[in-house]
Structure 1
Amino acid sequence: MLTPEQFFGFLAAAVLITVSPGPDNLMVLGVGMSRGRARGMAFGLGCALGCLSHTLLAALGVSAIIAASPFAFTLLKVAGGAYLIWLGLQALRSGGGAKATAVNGIDDSVPRLFAKGVFANAINPKVVLFFLSFLPQFVIAGNGNVNWQIAALGVTFTVQAAVLFGLLGFFSGTVGQWINSRPRAGQWLDRIAGTIFVGLGLRLIVAR
């Protein structure tokens, strides 16, 4: 369904975006640091699997737009490109300083933390907007089966997020200390992710 160039290009961008310090992975680290590896991994896996709901929405929505009008799909990709450029500029302007802070007051079981992770991600409107902007940038409409392309990209994003968030939860103590002792590391990760966002956005706008 995906060409090798699509898959590996998307995977590289997804991994760099996932490891850049943000609310989700810092929360995973915080839960793991304060409640232990199992709970950190459970919450992280829940956050990752919550992406499947956004994948479904993106697949149905983008397919409907293409069926209605190829021109509308072009507008969606350009608008998404502009949004990614804005996200990239925000990341490039970031001063870093992200901290992994232990989360106090959480005494839930592993299943409850997993469910909280799924729910928190699934209802996050910013993640919905991100998926609608990010996934279509890697769709090749001429290859057909756009809904399956979107689904494959979304599943790829979910799987790599599950692996990385699971590892973050497992090594939460070590990774949290490393981040807190190296504030500039977070800044450089933001710059890398920001450059990816801006590059993707410009590619779509220039090549429309």
Structure 2
Amino acid sequence: MSWHTYMLFIGASLVLCLVPGPDMLFLLGRPIAQGRAAGLCAAFGINLGAYIHLLAAVTGLSALVLASATVFTVVKFAGAAYLVYLGWGALRAKGGFALQESSGKSTLRHVFWQGFLSDVLNPKVALFYTALLPQFTSTHDPRPVAHLFELGVIGNTVGISTSVAYVFLASRMTQALRRSKTLSAGLTKAMGALFIGLGAKLATEKL
């Protein structure tokens, strides 16, 4: 595989990482509401979910899901329901998710697995791997599976690097905001409404 192909794939992965979506919203919400540690846990949880999608795509499972209307619909509605669940939890929260830095192991573990589920239950991520990866291989490739997995690891490395940068930027910009109970509560409610809106959009749109 040529150096040009690798660079083209890295560029495509970076552009897709910058496109707003449920994962980005969840990722930005953690450092805003709970601090940098929670944001990093969310980033690594989302990245682990991306590896599940990568493995599914390489083994053909993603193509199977996308080919089956019933299975695809189930995955889509599960993802939509999870987004609405997160949004409803944010709307019900009193005074924000947390007004102090979240450092408890149980809290950070919970955020990690929330990020993981946010990514795993997002059918658009499955579509990304199934549609994009084959564009960078050929029928004459002697090791197609190995090269697909290699590209996926590169894409996920771009993803985690971008996510960590987002977390540090969001944490730095919102430290003052989180000291205000009124602003923290307002940010939490706004994020909750956005999650519910994204869930409703995912449930109704055709992918």
Is residue 117 from structure 1 mapped to residue 103 from structure 2 by the alignment?
A: no
> Could you say which residue in structure 1 is the equivalent of 2:37?
38
**Equivalences, count:** 139
Which amino acid in 1 is paired with 2:110?
R
> Could you say which residue in structure 1 is the equivalent of 2:139?
141
Provide closer, same or farther for how the CA distance between residues 26 and 166 of structure 1 changes in structure 2, counting only shifts above 3 A.
same
Provide closer, same or farther for how the CA distance between residues 3 and 144 of structure 1 changes in structure 2, counting only shifts above 3 A.
same
Equivalent residue of 2:43, what SS? helix
Q: Give the Cα separation in 1 of the matches to 2:3 and 2:39.
A: 33
- TM-score by length of structure 2 reads 0.59
Which amino acid in 2 is paired with 1:11?
I
Q: What is the Cα deviation at residue 149 of structure 1?
A: 1.3
* 1:131-168 CA-partner distances (Å, limit 9, x unpaired): 11111111123122111111111111111111111121
* 1:19-39 CA-partner distances (Å, limit 9, x unpaired): 222221122111111110110
The 8 Å contact of residues 42 and 166 in structure 1, kept in 2 or not, is answered as no
Once the two structures are superposed, the pairs formed by residues 38-77 of structure 1 within 5 Å of their partners are: 38-61=37-60
* 1:45-101 CA-partner distances (Å, limit 9, x unpaired): 211221111111111119x99xxxxxxxxxx9xxxxxxxxxxxxxxxxxxxxxxxxx
Q: What is the Cα deviation at residue 10 of structure 1?
A: 0.2
Identity %: 27
Q: What is the Cα deviation at residue 120 of structure 1?
A: 2.0
Q: What is the Cα deviation at residue 110 of structure 1?
A: 1.4
Which amino acid in 2 is paired with 1:153?
L
CA root-mean-square deviation? 2.7
Once the two structures are superposed, the pairs formed by residues 98-117 of structure 1 within 5 Å of their partners are: 105=93, 106=97, 109-117=107-115
Q: What is the Cα deviation at residue 109 of structure 1?
A: 1.4
Once the two structures are superposed, the pairs formed by residues 143-162 of structure 1 within 5 Å of their partners are: 143-162=141-160
Structure 2 gap segments, 5+ residues each: 68-89, 99-105, 175-207
Q: What is the Cα deviation at residue 175 of structure 1?
A: 6.2
- TM-score by length of structure 1 reads 0.59
The 8 Å contact of residues 49 and 162 in structure 1, kept in 2 or not, is answered as no
Provide closer, same or farther for how the CA distance between residues 175 and 4 of structure 1 changes in structure 2, counting only shifts above 3 A.
farther
Structure 1 gap segments, 5+ residues each: 66-75, 77-102, 177-208
> Could you say which residue in structure 2 is the equivalent of 1:12?
11
Equivalent residue of 1:39, what SS? helix
Q: Give the Cα separation in 1 of the matches to 2:28 and 2:2.
A: 34
Which amino acid in 2 is paired with 1:59?
V
